[in-house]
A = this chain, B = another copy of it.
Amino acid sequence: MSMARESAELSAWATLDRRAVYEAPPFVRLSVERVRLPDGRVIEDYHRIVKPDYALVVPQRADGRILLVRQYKHGVGAVGLYPPGGYVAPGESPLQAAQRELLEETGHVAGRWRSLGAYTADANHGCGRAHFFAAEELRCADTPRSGDLEAMELVFLTPQGLLEAMTRGEINALGAATGLALALLPGFSISPENR
């Protein structure tokens, strides 16, 4: 399979026009685009959803246990286990956001960080990008002081315990499942140029 042929056939769509239809900054902005497909067809109502990027970190203690927060999420409507994380603030890098959220939500800092990649949250509509990190050399530095709306509890699970929690459905959100599965995946790491 030739990469040149692929690139020629799988061309980007052209955005001809874009109008905002709903705005509630900073959480969500919705716009409708008029787009032209490579074969010439025009779509009049492509919906793009703009949301802030977020960063999640999978922190692992020297004994191998993974630090998670148990919390209620209203989007899910249930309590679940989540890697620490949150929205990337204006002017902040995804790594800085992950480090800030780890400290705020759990009171921990980590000595070693590696990227697990960045992914568009919704391939069809956009919805911002999710940035994942694994963190090691974890140590407690402060009392958690999250300003978030959710009450939360810290939980330390072995990798096997985490897998079991996943099979029981305790990981119920897409971003959490992605970060944890990527962190547990043997041999996976992101090339420096793709961070």
Contact residues, A44-59 vs B (CB, 8 A) = 45-49, 51
Copies of this protein, total? 2
| Among candidates B1, B182, B189, residue contacting A177 with C-beta atoms closer than 8 Å | B182
Whether the pair A167, B185 counts as a contact (CB closer than 8 A) is no
CB distance from A162 to the nearest CB of B (A): 10
Whether the pair A73, B123 counts as a contact (CB closer than 8 A) is yes
* Total chain A interface residues with beta-carbon distance under 8 A: 79
Q: Which residue of B lies closest to A174 (CB)?
A: B119
Whether the pair A166, B117 counts as a contact (CB closer than 8 A) is yes
Q: Which residue of B lies closest to A154 (CB)?
A: B1
* Per-position 1/0 for A147-186, Cβ under 8 A of B: 0010111010000000100111101111111100110111
CB distance from A192 to the nearest CB of B (A): 10
**Chain B residues whose CB sits within 8 angstroms of the CB of A37 once the complex forms:** 149
CB distance from A74 to the nearest CB of B (A): 5
Docked Cα-Cα span, A130 to B70, in Å, equals 21
Q: A51-B125, A125-B27 are in contact. Are A163 and B149 (CB under 8 A)?
A: no
Which 7 A-B pairs rank lowest in CB-CB distance, beginning with the nearest? A181-B181, A169-B194, A123-B173, A73-B123, A119-B174, A76-B120, A178-B178
